[in-house]
Amino acid sequence: MSAIFEILDKDAGGRIGKLRTLHGVVETPAVMPVINPNIQLIPPKDMRSFGAEILITNSYIIYRKEELRNAALEKGLHSLLGFDGPIMTDSGSFQLSVYGSVEVTNEEILGFQEKIGSDIIVPLDIPTPPDVQFRRAEEELAITVERLEAARKFIKGKQLLAGPVQGSVYPELREKAASYLRDLNFEVYPLGAVVPLMESYRYTELVDVIAASKKGLSPSSPVHLFGAGHPMMFALAVALGCDLFDSAAYALYAKDGRYITANGTYHLEKLNYLPCSCPVCSKYTADELRKAKNKEELLGQHNLYVTFAEIRLIKQSIKDGKLLELVEQRCRAHPKLLDGLKRLYIHSSWLEQFDPATKGTYFYCGPESASRPEVLRFGKRLERFNLEGSAIIRTAPVKGEKEYDRVLAFKAPFGAFPVEMEEVYPFNAEVPKFPDYEALSTALSNTIKLMDLNPGAEFTFICEKEFEHPLIEEIGKKAKLVYREDWRKE
Ligand code: GUN
Ligand code: ZN
């Protein structure tokens, strides 16, 4: 028997995987378009043509409306929606978080999801919002955990059961919840109550919530970021180990006249041009789209096209080992996302364990790149170099270097390493000719560390005049420091 979730490729914390459900296999990362059983902007049967392999709908909305409920019970969820692929159902927890209560119990809604043939069932968890006191977060988490334990005993068939991780913005609660739920063996782990964080661009906290939850979970479990539907943050979330997303955004934004791109959102009213080549944007001008009778539907279609294009780009980036380059590009779309990127690299030491030992060429894309897991790993492994005798460190070949016992290349943000490794990953990195302050900080401190680790060696450091950095003075105390233009002048 094959595993329910199988990981095929990895990059940073991101992965390409296969999730097996009763209605077929889904390749992750995947976005599930949210289907509102009452209002269908785009019919579920058409969702495949945009790239959707799995949908998500709300079982509580179906349950609450007699005619939908009876239809779902009689012919099943898949016939009701007219989609024969995998369908995940939410429980009404979101309504609970918006309206304060729901008219259904955990057991009732679980039983209903089971009966109508949902592929991924969600218990009635409590989405505790940000900014509540720790006590409340803790108390609500205890109820959520109780309901999840009940759900685990209740759902025993082939349908997959999701175990939402709550805990508000308290990393310690998230990690504790996650590690407790890990042992209950849910098939999918959604991270809950993150919508308010995303709505107010609180990406720093979002990154911490994801990282804390992931630390408690098994790395081999699939993780769903509940309510995340904007493509501009997919790459960041994937790099942290999220595998599933759901998008109501494609429809909600369309209703509002908003045009999604991977770098942010435009108001259709303010667009002079359509910066996209999807079938909608190829057929219409901005003006025509504004005036179209089915404007909302067309906008919804465009929003879906760009959403799935981003997922494909992310998957290709994972295959190429270039996911972090994509994350760094995307996070430059908004200063708050840039804060999220910086936060991601605060977790580099944790991410490093998932990052492949060798992959696509490292590209330096800006000061944040200096804190990437690959760079951190090099710093951790400096002890592996054993140097004796005379050693010269230089950025490019210099006259007479063969006279030294060891020749080391210097490349920021890494530092100094044996020149024989120059073409080897990660030292084959593409970096700017003139390193910035952050790259030099890391490279020079690694070089100092290397010198301290090898007190038996006698170092000569060939410095570039552009290297303006306080650590140069420090290097001067441990090595013979010569500026390149002064080196062996005739
Ligand atoms: N949809 C958005 N957030 C949540 C959540 O925390 N729990 C559930 N069940 N659904 C959600
Ligand atoms: Zn388009």
Residues 93 and 61: beta-carbon distance below 8 Å: no
Residue of minimum CA distance from atom 8 in ligand 1: 93
Mean pLDDT of the chain: 97
Residues 464-472, mean pLDDT to the nearest whole number: 95
pLDDT at residue 2, as a whole number = 79
3-state secondary structure 220-249: CCCEEECCCCCHHHHHHHHHCCCCEEEECH
At residue 489, does pLDDT exceed 80? Answer: no
Q: Which ligand is closest to the CA of 130, given by its number?
A: 1
CA distances from 376 to 67, 140, 372, 445 (A): 58, 38, 6, 12
- pLDDT interval class at 167 (50, 70, 90): very high
Q: Is the CB of 92 under 6 A from ligand 1?
A: no
Residues 98-116, mean pLDDT to the nearest whole number: 95
Residues 19-26, mean pLDDT to the nearest whole number: 98
Residues 139-164, mean pLDDT to the nearest whole number: 97
Which of 56, 59, 93, 98, when mutated, tests ligand 1's pocket best, judged by the most ligand atoms within 8 Å of its CB? 93
**Residue in 455, 457, 391, 380 with CA at minimum distance from that of residue 418:** 391
At residue 43, does pLDDT exceed 70? Answer: yes
CATH class of the 5-351 domain in this structure: alpha beta
CA distances from 25 to 4, 37, 119, 157 (A): 9, 23, 11, 18
Structurally, what CATH architecture does the domain formed by 367-489 represent? Answer: 3-Layer(aba) Sandwich (3.40)
Dihedral over Cα of 474, 476, 481, 484: its sign: positive
What is the percentage of the chain residues whose pLDDT exceeds 90?
97
Please, which residues have CB less than 5 A from ligand 2, an ion? 276, 278, 280-281, 302
Task: Give the integer Cα–Cα distance in Å for 175 and 182.
Answer: 10
Q: For 63-89, what is each residue's pLDDT tens digit?
A: 999 999 999 999 999 999 999 999 999
Residue of minimum CA distance from atom 4 in ligand 1: 192
Annotated domain spans of the chain:
5-351, 367-489
Q: For 46-69, what is each residue's pLDDT tens digit?
A: 999 999 999 999 999 999 999 999
Residue of minimum CA distance from atom 7 in ligand 1: 192
Structure tokens at 379: 């710093």
At residue 240, does pLDDT exceed 70? Answer: yes
CA distances from 278 to 101, 209, 282, 284, 319 (A): 41, 34, 6, 10, 24
At residue 490, does pLDDT exceed 70? Answer: no
pLDDT at residue 1, as a whole number = 59
Q: For 290-327, what is each residue's pLDDT tens digit?
A: 999 999 999 999 999 999 999 999 999 999 999 999 99
pLDDT at residue 159, as a whole number = 97
pLDDT at residue 157, as a whole number = 87
pLDDT at residue 83, as a whole number = 98
Q: For 392-438, what is each residue's pLDDT tens digit?
A: 999 999 999 999 999 999 999 999 999 999 999 999 999 999 999 99
Residues 253-271, mean pLDDT to the nearest whole number: 98
Q: Which residues contact 304 (CB under 8 A, 6 or more apart)?
A: 33, 42, 47, 50, 51, 52, 247, 250
